[in-house]
Structures are given as structure tokens and as C-alpha cells.
Structure 1
Amino acid sequence: MAAWAGPRLPVHMAAWAWKPGKSIISQKGAAAAVCQCIPGIPCSAAPGFQPSIWGDLFLTYSSPLATSSTQKAWMVHRAEQLKEQVAKLIAASIACSLYHRIHLIDVLERLCLDHLFEDEINDMLTRISNVNVCGCDLQTVAMWFYLLRKHGYRVSSDVFAKFRDEQGCFAANNARDLLNLYNAACLRTHGEIILDEAISFTTKCLKSVAPNMETSLASEIKRVLEIPLPRSVRIYEAKSHIAEYGKLQSRLSFARDRVVECYFWMVGVYFEPIYSRARVILSKVLAIVSLLDDTYDVYGTSQECELFTKCIESWDTAVTGGLPENMKFIFGKILDTCQSIEDELAPEEKYRMPYLKIFIVDLVRAYNKEVKWREEGYVPATVEEHLQVSSRSGACHLLSCTSFVGMGDVAAQEAFEWVCSVPKIVQALCIILRLSDDQVI
């Protein structure tokens, strides 16, 4: 039997461990420290420790919220409500894409809320562990690998082979792909050469791109390069993660925040409870329209708007290289929102999404045309020429299509073919809205 080596220290304390032949403090320092504790014995040198910056604050501090029974009861009740909502969200995610399910678990764990949903998360992990990821992109595979290996599942690193070339480079489209691959590779074991190569490749790339980024992603990259995510203190990391959500509004400060108004407008379209899903989907798309309108109208330059339009047309994050970070962020959120809408649809309803994307592309083309007119100082010669573009930039054709997306069996494929042809009634609606919106009283 091997000799007992003493108690095992936590990973974050390992660097402080005493080793034979090493002394944490000098003999002189130790003597001084002992003398401090024995009254009457003079000390040759004071250790020079600074007093606590907190003083006795926490010995006497009492939060007003903690002493208010009414406020405390409300907070407990509100917490229970939110727990129920998240539990329903987890249950509904079974029908969602693999990325959506992985992302949901990842967010709960990063916010240190996973302990509230242990059974639900364990059930999801069991389901996810049996998924074939051969057809998934690098970001999804990396997050899948990281999540399962972190929870003790045996996952082969061979899943990354298809993303690596002969030079040891990996097919990452953006910094987020690199970061997820780096996090996954940090859970490598001895002898996993492909993950050793992934660490080397992603570290070099992340150090190269991070200085040119002014986003929360750059801060996250800096943190994980200093302390890899598996070794970080979760509750401290949660603070940074919460702060990232708070930065969303400041990043889009140029755009109008009209989510409540968007939903209120949609209640006017259909208020019946049966159309709850349709209202939510239509509100999301209307919020996208508002954001796109402000992006083209007050934020992007002519060149940036041209490139942004091409990104929307391609529907691919790989072509966002020349965009400013905020516009990359907006594009990513548009893709995420459309994916969340698709996840809401049943398998037999997913044919509706291509129709929706067609109208989103047409909308940004109209916005981009108006930007070009503005930059060139061009004024349409006739009302008809003006309406050829402005009736489309009013987004009524997009919203007409979207109104069918969440309506269940009420809207068949014929309805989408009909609205996609932009019949006269939709054309008239677009013109009425545009002229009403442009009217000066």
C-alpha cells in the first residue's frame, strides 16, 4: 500500500502547495509572524500586511431587501415562476436543433443555474450523447464535445478530423468557432494529438484576432487564454457572462428598442389565444425589421450596407469578414432569431422558412437601394419609381408572409405560394402603408 501523501488540494490551490526543500516564508519572516502573536516579545520587523479594505462592513451590514418580508416573499415567488418557465423551455427544447439544446445547457451552466435543473439536464445529456454529429458544423461539434466530456461521457476526439487539413489547420469560420474549439481541446487527455494541434492552432489564431475586436467576445477570449474555461471559477465566470447580456442594449444604442410596441401591434393582428405562437413569431420578425431599418438608415456606411446586404443574401456567417463588429453581431442575431423560429415549427411546417428568408432578403435589398439613392443624392423622377423600392422597404410583404408562419394548419403551402407572388392586395397594402408613413401633416 502506498504511503499516504496527505490531503488532496483543490486544483486552484495546487500552486500554493508546500514541497520538500521549499519554504513558503523565510525563517526571519516566520519568526516575525510568530512574535506578532506573542505579547511582550519584541519583533525585529513588522510583516507589513495591509488592513482589510472592507473594514468591519460585513459584520454589521444588513440588506434592506433581506429585512423586508414583503420584498423577500415577492423575490421567492418570482424565482419560482422563472424556474417553472425555464423548466418548460428545457422540456420544449427536445424538438429543437442540436445546437439550440447544447446552447441552452451551456448558458444555464455558465450562469450557475444548472443545479436547479439537474434531472432535466441529465436527461438532455443522455439524449445528446447518442446524436450523430457527422453533418454538424465546427461550432456545434465543439460545444457538443466540450459539454459531454465535461460531464464524464466518453467522446472520441476523432469528430474533429473532418475539420483539420494536412497542415494541422482547422476549418473555423470565425472567432466563435475558434473559441469553442479551444474550450473543447482544453479537455484533451494524454496522447490526443488532434486536440494538441487544436490547442496550438486556436491559441495562435485567437491571440491574433482578439486585439482587433472590441466586443465581449474579445474579453471572453482574453479570459480563457489566461485561465482555460474548465479551470475557471464558475461563479466568477458567471459574473462576466451576466455582464455580456447587459452590454446588448449598449451595443445597439443606435437602434430603437420597440419590442413591447411590436408585440402590442401584433395583438391587433390576431388576439386569440390559439395564435399565441404566431404572435410571438411575428413580433420577432417585426423587431428584426426595426433593427434592420435603423442599421441601414443611421448606422452603416454605403460600403458596409452593401456588404451587409450580401451577407443576408448568402445567409452565411463565413462572408462577414469586412463588416464592423456591431453589424456582425446583428447578422448573427438575425440568424439566431430565424433559427429559433424554425425550432418552433413542427417538422411538417419547416418548409415555411425559405419563404420567410426570401422576403427578408428582398427587404434588405430595398433598404440598400435607398442608401445608394441617399449617398448619390438621387431623387426618383416619378412616384411610381419611388414606390418600386419604398413600397418594399415598408416590409408589409414580409410581415404578410410572416403572419402565416406560426398559424398552424390554418395556413397551408398554397397560402405561402400566394403571398410570395405578391398579389394585388399585398401590393396595395404595401403602398398604403408607405404613403401613410411618408405623409407629412
Structure 2
Amino acid sequence: MALLHLPQAASLTNMLPLNIRPSCVASISKSFNPPSLTVECKASSSVRVSDQTQQVSRRSGDFQPDVWRYDYIQSLNNNYAEQAYKEDSRMLGEEVRILLSETMSRVDQLVLIDTLQRLGLGYHFKGEIKKILENTYNVDKFKNKLNLHATALEFRLLRQHGYDVSTDVFGSFKVKTGHDFQRSLSKDIKGMLSLYEASFHLMENETILEKATNFTSKSLKDFVRNNTEHELTCQVKHALELPLHWRLPRWEARWFIGEYERMPNMNPTILQLAKLDYNMAQAMYQEEVKSNIRWWQRTDLENKINFFRCRVVDNYVWGLGMKDGPDFEKLRRVIGNLCAIITLTDDMYDVHGTLEELEIFTETIARWDANDLDGLADYMKVAFFAIYNFVDELTSDIQKEKGHNVHSYLKKGWQDFCKAFMVEARWYHGGKTPSLKEYLENGWVSIGGPLLHLHAYVLMPNNPIRDLDLDLISLHDQHSNLLHVSGLNFRLLNDLGTFKREQKTGDVPSSIQCYMNDSGVSEEEAIEHIKCLVHETWKKMNEQVATSSLSRDFNVTAWELSRTATFFYYYGDDTYTLQDSTFKDRVHSLLFEPI
């Protein structure tokens, strides 16, 4: 499972074309109403392959061992889990809570909320933040319409928290005779930075926010070129590299704590709480990683089969990216373990399995009968039971905790996932390059997004499970638009990060090759087109997060999955697979190195 590659020093403009071409919008729209997956297995019941009785030629991904070793993880000893630190955190939190309530200016309150969120402290003050934003929305909405910084910040925070706000609030900043922004605004760097960050919360047909992205990007790049020592230069460079809306929150907190410490208006109490909270959260995450690596050792999968990528710590980061708060411990651990089994399955379909073996395996998953494994290769029996037992154990846990039997939904999620993999295996072994539309109609499922979202839903704490919601999540049709557009975004990011490596090892053509084949364009042009589609899926995803009938906590997992993908692949090619030293250092800072 691998997602996004961007040049290390790339600006946002290089990363994604901001003037969206009509062909780009058409491509994404054509694939926006996916058909239900009803792929039939074509394997004849008489076809039986055993890896003991036949010598077969197999591909190899040449995957390297995991850089994170069991002994190192188990040896971790973090003092920040001790009770004394919890009491310090509580006392500091009360001081900040008073500060938040006593801040008189509404703009200052919003600045403080933004600061707390970027420092990773927002979850401590959910009630206070909700009350302030509700008052802002219902009573004091956009009273500072001539202050660009205040207007853009308010717009971003309200949209981020699910409030319905119109882009009309930016009308006072446009020229009177057109739709462009007033050029004089470019001198207001704080306002430009706020408008830039707000613009990435755009939805479809919000042209003014697309114009805002273009206008602010140009102005901010001009500012950086001419102001190397300004107090905002570092923040502007950081934003141009990647907008806040697309960043992994815990990794952003690590960076912003260092940046906040250098700010002239830094509050020492807030800074102290931020550092302490980051280190305490690390202590919590380390215990969860220890639990996951012990689970992994118990499965003994690494010794039973050796053709797949073992990435226990990195798999945990996927769960951490989807929910990082203290209430979501089980979700993080289970998602991490799920990603380990997804990776095993992915590598079996993409690299190790023969077409005949994969047909039989897909048929076996469709039957879901542990007593009927006729003809299944021995290594596939191990893979089957890894999936089968994982579903059974999670079903039992959910039944005990929430009184709801989710077995049929989890089973269907895996069946659809394997069917989508089988489609790609037939393409590869048949030498077929599908059209981009055909590829995306299958690829949004094969990337694993729907499966991850399904598990996240049943694992949400304090969230009752409803069959109506599960039906919506499991349909894989036009009614599950949130999951569809999230899956598309996930797939496109994956392809941008992995296609070069997969070209070398041998794999189904990616969206990049599919578009090249469709249109006869160069690889560079195809990459730009796929980046354009990523931008389009973010717009659709913003709209779906705001309008989906599912819970807000669940809806934002669509954002969180894409942010996690960005964390994995921004600094190098397919770092999930290759685990280069830069990525290892980032994971080490995120999980193991206290501030």
C-alpha cells in the first residue's frame, strides 16, 4: 500500500496544477459513479495448483526486511506515561482553558484556537472550541469583513468543523469590476497566508477559492524570494510546500511546536503544555506499537511465508493517521494490524501468486468456508486463515462491546477487495492496459480505502453501529460517494508514489500508464494530469465530508487517510516499501523521539 511522491523541495504549484483543465474534470466525473463490483471468478473447479507439486516461475518484489526490529520496540521505556506528568498536563490545561475563555476579541479567540489545533492540543478543549465556533457562526459571523486575515481564518475554522459558510464572504476583497482579488492585498502577508490556507477547503464550482489559491501562491512565492529573514518566511515556505489541510496533524504538531517557540507572541504555558502533550502522546503510541508487534509475532506470518513486505510500525502509522486522540486506541491498533494483512494480500496478488492460484484464492474468499480449501496452495491457506481469523476475532470483539454482529459486512469488504485485486491480476497476466476510466472504477476499491473506512466505522468509540450506515458503506455504488471519492484520491496518490518502482518489478499499469495509453501523451504530461485529478478529488472530498449522512467523526477519516498518505510519500519514492533513511527518521520523530 503506497501513495504519494512529491519532489522534496517542490512548491505547491509544481505539485498540482491549479488551473484545472476541462479534460481533468471530465476524467474524474466519468469515474464518479462507480458500478457495483460483481466480478465473477473464472477459475474452473477442476483447476488446482499446489506450490509443493509444481515448480512455477514467480516474480519477486525484492522487498527488504523491516527496519524496525522486535527487540528495539519492546525495549522502549517512556517515562512520560507516569502519573506525575498527567497531573502537570492537567494543571497546564486548566491555565490554557482560562486563557481561552478570557480572551476578549473574537479574532484573538480564533487565532488561539488555530494555534492550539496546530500544536496538537485541540482535543483537550473540544467543548470550549465548539462553543466559541457556535457563537461565531450564530452571532458574530464575519464581523471583520475588511480584515482579510480574520475573514480567511474564520472561514477555514468554520469549514474545518463542519459549518456551512459561503465563499461570498470574500466578495469585499475582489475588484469591483471583475472576479479577481485586489492586487493591493498582496502586501498583507498574514492575510495572504490565511487566505491561501482557507482556499484548500474549497468544494466544486467555488471558482473564487481556486482564484484565491492561484493569487496567494504567486504572492507568497514573490514574498519568499524577497524576504529571507521576515518572521513569517518560514511559515510561508512551509505552507507553499504543502497546505495545512493536507498535512498529518501529529507531524504538523511536531513542526509547529518548534515554530511557535520562535514566535514573538509565544505563550510559555501553551508551549510547555504542547511539548508535554506531544511526549505523553508518544508514550501512549509506543505502548500501542508494542501491542501490535506482539500480535504480529503471535501470528508467525513472517516465518510461514516470506514474499511480502513486513512493516509493523509503518502499518501502525496508518491507524495513527486516521485517528490520533486518546479515545481511539483500539481503532489505531486494529487498523495497523489490518494494514499488515492488506499488505500480505496485496503482495500475493501483485507479485507472488500465479493467475491460476489467484483465481482459486478469490473463489475461496467468495465461499468463505474454512472447511473447503481444496486446491489452495499452502501459502494461500496461511493467507486465507490470516484474513478469516482476523474477521472472526474482530467480529467477536465488536459483538461484545457494541452488541452488533458485523461479520457479514467485514466478510463482504474482504470479498470485494479480493475481487478488485483479481481484476488487476487478469489485466496484468493478460497484458492488458485498461482505459483510465476502467482502471479507476476498479482501483478505488483495490487500493483498500473502502476496507479501511469500513473497519474505522465499526471501531469508532461512542458511536452506535447502524445497519443503515453499514449498508451505505458496503454498497460500493453512487450512494457511497464519500468512500468513492476518498478511494479515488487514495488510488491516485498511490500511483504517483509507486508507479516507477512497480514498472521495474512488474505490475498492472497504473493510472499514469493508462492515461498515457488513452491520450498518447508523455509521462510528464500524464503525471500532471493525475495530479490534477488529485486536486479534483480533494474538492469532492471536502464536499462529501460536509454533506455525508454519516457521523462527523467518521466522515473526516476521508481527510485523515489522504493526509497519512501524504506523510508517507512526500519525501521519497514509495517509502512504505523502501523505508529510506529520511522516512525512518520521520517515523522515529513521530513515535519514538521526545521533544
TM-score strictly above 0.5: no
Query: Which structure has the greater CA radius of gyration?
Result: 1
**TM-score tier (shorter):** 0.3 to 0.5
What's the TM-score once normalised by structure 2's chain length? 0.32
What's the TM-score once normalised by structure 1's chain length? 0.43
Structure scoring higher RCO (CA < 8 A, sep ≥ 6) equals 2
